[in-house]
Structure 1
Amino acid sequence: MVSSNPDPMDENITGLEPGGGVPPGETPPAEGSISSDQGHSEGAKAGKAVSRLWLVAISIVVVLIALFFVGYITGLFDLLS
């Protein structure tokens, strides 16, 4: 049993060679040809001070949350009230 193609226009697609190949020149180039500056440096990194500041801030928040849970588990909040 041979099934027919449900798309009648499938045979009339421009640019396709028999077997589904595409001839050279039918596809866009693989890369753009931008040669001017983009206005920013691709390798720009934040300063070490900014990175350390974020690390310290996140560490403080984590330590405070851990102390809260330790105090809750040990019943420290029950002693204060």
Structure 2
Amino acid sequence: MTHISPDPEPERTTGLEPGGGVPPGETPPAESSMPEAGPQEVHNPTKGWAKAPLTIILVLVVLIAAFFLAYALAMIL
């Protein structure tokens, strides 16, 4: 894979000022026109909840609900 420098060459690029800047009113090159503009994404995390954390949360909710139900029954009886 060859890497092309995103820096413009003043001799070959029209509309550049001597310092390499773009004059007012002219549009600079877009990112999509430059190869390798962003970082290469090698890890794409999965979407949604994992099974273990979801199971732990559900178990905690059931235990808390059971505690309050038992407490309410103990107060009634």
Please indicate, yes or no, whether the TM-score normalized by the shorter chain is above 0.5: no
Higher-Rg member (1/2): 1
Structure of higher RCO (CA pairs closer than 8 Å, 6+ residues apart): 2
Task: Give me the TM-score of the superposition, normalised by structure 2.
Answer: 0.41
